[in-house]
Amino acid sequence: MTQENTTNASKEEDLAQEVPINHSDVSSEQATEEPVEMPEAAEAAEASEAAEASEGTEAPAVAEPPEPTLEEQLAEMKGNYLRALAESENYRKRMAREILDTREQTRVKTIGEMVGIYDLLQMAVEHASKATDVAALRQGLEMSFGEFKRILKGMGVEVLDAVGQPFDPSIHEAMSTLNSDEVPDGVVLQQWKPGFKIGDKLLRPATVVVSKGPANPPPAEAPASDGVVEN
């Protein structure tokens, strides 16, 4: 036997001695291994189970408050009415008190302005009983009258001087009528008392005498003739 044949025979013996692999044993070992679960999958499964459990459980019903009885409704309405009535009465009393306060303040202010006129008139009366100078007495009276007019103007009072104005029944009161050759018909001829206004409110109309025009009006002119002379 040659050397080459001896080598081949030894290789065949070595192959025959190798142990064959059993595929069935490998598959069975892999099958017996426990499966590994991921944490995310476990949490998702728990959440799904909780949702299913909550769907199956009904929420407890909330108890509604009982409807008020007729007596309770009437009592509430009566209370609201009494409160509204009390508020209205308090408002009425408050407004009446404010009106009285305003009137009192106006009265005090007006009298305070007139006190100066009182002093001037008192001095004029005392001077008139002793003095013989009529010019000085007149000057004192004019000062008093001027101060009085200043006070009225400061209060917004307008003095209506009607002489020479067309008669206006809304601000004038005609006491009589007179004929006048100088003053046209329907114009105020004389004024007995002046009128007074505050804004658009008439305090007192002016007492006046209204002209009726001339007593003997001139005769009307004859119409012009057409050139025909009567015999």
What is the average pLDDT value for the chain, to the nearest integer? 78
Report the candidate in 172, 180, 170, 190 with the shortest Cα–Cα distance to residue 213: 180
More confident residue, 12 or 161: 161
Distance CA 183, CA 163 (A): 10
Beta bridge partners of 202: 197
Write out pLDDT tens, residues 126-175. Answer: 888 777 778 888 888 888 899 899 988 988 999 999 999 999 999 999 99
Whole-model pTM?
A: 0.51
Look at 5-19, 107-121, 133-147, 193-207 and tell me which has the smallest mean pLDDT.
Answer: 5-19
All structural domains of the chain? 72-155 (3.90.20.20), 156-214 (2.30.22.10)
**pLDDT for res 15:** 45
201-204: strand order across its sheet: 157-160, 195-198, 201-204
Calculated CA dihedral for residues 162, 163, 164, 165, nearest 10 degrees: 10
Write out pLDDT tens, residues 28-73. Answer: 444 444 444 455 555 666 666 665 555 555 555 667 878 888 898 9
CB 197 within 8 A of CB 160: yes
Residues 181-207: what's their mean pLDDT? 93
**pLDDT for res 226:** 54
Distance CA 77, CA 85 (A): 12
Helices 134-154 and 70-128 sit at what angle, rounded to 10 degrees? 160
Q: 151-157 long-range CB contacts below 8 Å, 24 or more apart? A: 151/113, 151/114, 151/116, 151/117, 152/196, 154/113, 155/110, 155/113, 155/198, 156/198, 156/199, 157/196, 157/197, 157/198, 157/203
Task: Please measure the distance between the N-terminal and C-terminal CA atoms of the chain and give it in whole angstroms.
Answer: 208
**pLDDT for res 42:** 59
Residues 214-227: what's their mean pLDDT? 64
